[in-house]
Amino acid sequence: MIPTNGSAGGQPGADTSDNWVNNTAGDCIKQSSKPPVGLHLYIQIFNRKRGGSRKTLDRQSLPMPLQYLTERGLLKRKPRAEWAAICCPVHKGGAERNPSLNVNMVDGHFRCMACGASGGDMVALHRLITGASFLAAVRDLGGRFHD
């Protein structure tokens, strides 16, 4: 039975801030009008359990930047010291006349001097060039995860 007189079950002093609804089985259940907040909202959105095990990427298993750029034919000029310049795939589809994307040969972080595209490692560069997801990019590069 659904309460209709503003009190739960006709009892004076009962909590009226929650709604009473019928579920599919016909039972009268209490439905909260308050939205989830904090950790409950996070779990609801991302469906993660607290304290779950996450694997970390073994960055040593990724190719060196020079090897990656050479294999794909992206180097237009000889690298200078720790930096190499390639054509940026973000603007003009990589068909620019002068290379504007500088890639660090030590760890692979990069920045385009024309459009500002930047990233922190070889996975980000590969994702920028191919448009792949993170896991697909790691798989393409031969990267490994460990606990």
* pLDDT, tens digit, 9 for 90 and up, residues 104-133: 999 999 999 998 899 999 999 999 989 998
* pLDDT higher at 70 or 13: 70
* Averaged pLDDT for residues 46-74: 81
Weakest-pLDDT range from 16-20, 57-61, 71-75: 16-20
26 vs 43: CA distance, rounded Å? 29
Residue 26 in tokens: 């016909």
* Averaged pLDDT for residues 9-23: 52
Calculate what percentage of the chain has a pLDDT beyond 70. Answer: 64
Q: Where are the domains of the chain?
A: 8-46, 56-146
**Residue 62: how many CB atoms within 10 A of its CB?**
22
Whether residue 20 contacts residue 105, with contact meaning beta carbons closer than 8 Å, is answered with no
pLDDT of 30 above 60: no
pLDDT in tens, 78-91: 999 899 999 988 88
Model's pTM, two decimal places? Answer: 0.62
* pLDDT higher at 92 or 33: 92
Where b means 16+ CB within 10 Å and e means fewer, 112-146 reads beeeebebebbbbbbbbbeebeeeebbeebebeee
The pLDDT, as a whole number, for residue 32 is 57
**Domain 56-146 of CATH type 3.90.580.10:** yes
The pLDDT, as a whole number, for residue 7 is 47
Q: Which amino acid is at 24?
A: T
Q: Report which DSSP code applies to 97.
A: S
Calculate what percentage of the chain has a pLDDT beyond 90. Answer: 36
The pLDDT, as a whole number, for residue 146 is 84
Q: What are phi and psi of 21, to 5 degrees?
A: -135, 160
